[in-house]
Amino acid sequence: MAELAGILRTELVRYSPDEKLPSSRALVERFRVSPVTVSRALAALAAEGLVVTRPGAGAFRARPRAGGARPGDTSWQQVALSAEAGEDAVPRSVDASGVLATLSEPPAGVLELNGGYLHPALQPERALAAALARAGRRPGAWGRPPVEGVGELRAWFAREIGGPAGTVTPSDVLITAGGQSALTAALRALAPPGAPVLVESPTYPGMLAAARASGLRPVPVPADAHGVRTDLLAPAFRASGARLLVLQPLFQNPSGAVLAEERRAEVLRAAREAGAFVVEDDFARRLAHEDAPPLPPALAADDPDGIVVHVCSLTKFTSPSLRVGALAARGPALDRLRAIHVVDNFFVPRPLQEAALELVGSPAWSRHRRTVAAELRARREALLSALRRELPQLTVEYVPPGGFHVWVRLPDGTDDTALAAAAFREGVAVAPGRPYYAAEPEAPHLRLSFASVAGTAELAEGVARLRRAVGQIAPAG
């Protein structure tokens, strides 16, 4: 540790004040030491006043204190931030770590099998640039859009969600700043702080974080290869008193499962009996693989009574920066959603909405769809065959017909967090299964993404590195 601190102390002179140091991950990589050694070395330098560390942001070269300037003391904030309104108050628990893990780029040399977006080479970059240029030339492109969104774009989303029957109308749709914003608005609008919300188990950690940040209490309902276990749904509504269920019926994250035909009606029936809303997070409809069976319609497409609140987004299929999504709902819920959306954000910037319209109306749109479908299938197969070859002791219970991930079961007793850390040291970023569970996991898992590396060669190499990590981790007991 002292040796590492010494090296870093020497290197620090090359950094300007407030410049960010390499991430802990990068230091682990470069010096082939454990994360604990890195954090101790950084703590030593921080104690010397040479670096400043910010949890979640990294370490920075400290500013030299000017002669007269009084050094700041923010320690009073700990008291202020832990103050609660009363004994029964709901703490504002915000844990962004699960989200940050997939949003931050791994250091150079580490293969990204933990990504939530298409690799840049798979993004329609040229079509996006052209769409933005055309959007900028549209008259009034910088003007104030209606708070609900540009009419033409609402109409496009309504057709996409409702299908040819036209069961979703443009006035049912709100344009949002991507799917995460839409989810946050839905969770905030549909349940008061302190309320329970039923979630699939396992499920997307970003949704769990958003629910908890809104003061909601996620209650897990087990899911299998056919989607959420509907036999457990009615009892879960009764036991929890929840009036809200969040699910991803299509290519669920992390499992890739599709909600089975017979369960679709059961979900709606259980919600209707409980007087509850169903938030349908339809994030992956455009991520069907080439060999996927025909897709079921959105739950929202056959929902006259406004049970379903539909969430979708263009981001996953295009670029993380095309933060344009939609909410669709009916009745007073729509009014509530609009109010939350307006108070939180006003509206989505018009140039982005216009760029989205240009993109979905261009010939590149359906071409991109075919490319993505073929590429995702090829990558999924490459990953699965590498896993079968190199790591036969891991179980892939389900071959996902869409989405970006396979969900891999580890031998009982494996510490998934330790394995992910070991894999990182070997040069491959993977997601441990733990954060996907609202309560205790039923078994250890990893989530492996095949969408965010450059190609199939990287998938094979990533699995080889994962195999080396598995060799270092012995299952407990």
Span 220-249, contacts to a second copy by CB under 8 A: 243
Q: Classify burial at 167, counting beta carbons within 10 Å of its beta carbon; exposed 0-12, middle 13-18, buried 19 or more.
A: middle
Q: Which of residues 381-410 bind a second copy (CB under 8 A)?
A: none
Whether the Cβ atoms of residue 245 and residue 277 lie closer than 8 Å to each other: yes
**Which residue in the set 38, 111, 135, 288 belongs to the binding site for a second copy (CB under 8 A)?**
135
**Helix orientation angle between 179-190 and 205-213, rounded to the nearest 10 degrees:** 40
Q: Is 407 within 8 Å of 254 (Cβ atoms)?
A: yes
DSSP 93: -
> How far are the Cα atoms of 96, 210, 420, 435 from residue 446, in angstroms, in the given order?
19, 22, 8, 10
Site string for a second copy, 144-183 (x = CB under 8 A): xxxxx--------------------xxx-----xx-xx--
Q: Is 310 in the site for a second copy (CB under 8 A)?
A: no
Least spacing, CB of residue 86 vs a second copy, in Å: 6
Q: Which stretch binds a second copy (CB under 8 A): 78-86, 281-289, 363-371, 467-475?
A: 78-86
Q: How far is the CB of 228 from a second copy (least distance, A)?
A: 19
By the 10 Å C-beta count (0-12 exposed, 13-18 middle, 19+ buried), 54 is classed as exposed
Is 28 a binding residue for a second copy by CB under 8 A? The answer is no
Q: Which stretch binds a second copy (CB under 8 A): 41-49, 343-351, 415-423, 428-436?
A: 343-351
Q: Is 15 in the site for a second copy (CB under 8 A)?
A: no
The one among 331, 361, 413, 471 contacting a second copy by CB under 8 A: 331
Select from 320, 411, 441, 455 the one that contacts a second copy (CB under 8 A): 320
Part in contact with a second copy (CB under 8 A); list of ranges 3-11, 116-124, 382-390, 463-471: 116-124
Give 314's DSSP letter.
S
Residue of the chain from 99, 278, 300, 410 that contacts a second copy (CB under 8 A) = 99
Q: Per-residue contact track with a second copy, 187 to 226, x per CB under 8 A?
A: -xxxxxxxx----------x--xx--x-x-----------
- 8 A C-beta contact, residue 375 and residue 121: no
Q: Does 85 bind a second copy (CB under 8 A)?
A: yes
Which of the 8 DSSP states describes residue 253? T
Residues 185 and 207: beta-carbon distance below 8 Å? no
One of 14, 32, 47, 76 touching a second copy (CB under 8 A): 76
Q: Which of 211, 268, 283, 275 is nearest to 242 (CA)?
A: 275
Nearest one of 256, 268, 246 to 200, comparing CA atoms: 246
Tell me the closest approach of the beta carbon of residue 427 to a second copy, in angstroms. Answer: 21
| 70 binding a second copy? (CB under 8 A) | yes
